[in-house]
Amino acid sequence: MTQPSGNRKSSRSGLRTVRLLRRAKLALVAMAALPVFQATGCFPDPIGALNFELQNLVNVTLIDWVSIIVQNVLRL
């Protein structure tokens, strides 16, 4: 006995839905696990580190210059 074509379509559709849900669950689990992997193997951010160091250099240099000028003007 053969199945009517309507049942085949619905079973294929159901299979697609199951596969889609399975992939969605896997993606959700992978996204939930990201903080665990990030905590155990976090990598440095070289651009952020360079930006921080450059900003720190500018701040220290600027503060030193202002301090020297104020000391000279007020003769401290």
Q: Do 35 and 49 share a structural domain?
A: no
Q: Which residues of 29-61 are buried (b: 16+ CB within 10 A; e: fewer)?
A: eeeeeeeeeeeeeeeeeeeeeeeeeeeeeeeee
| Prediction pTM value | 0.37
Does residue 39 sit in the same domain as residue 3? yes
Predicted pLDDT of residue 60: 92
pLDDT tens, residue by residue, 6-16: 566 677 888 88
Name the residue range of residue 34's domain.
1-43
Residue at token pair 């689990």: 29
pLDDT at 13: 81
Do 20 and 55 belong together in one domain?
no
Q: What is the pLDDT of residues 18-70, one digit of tens each?
A: 999 999 999 988 888 777 666 656 666 788 888 999 999 999 999 999 999 99
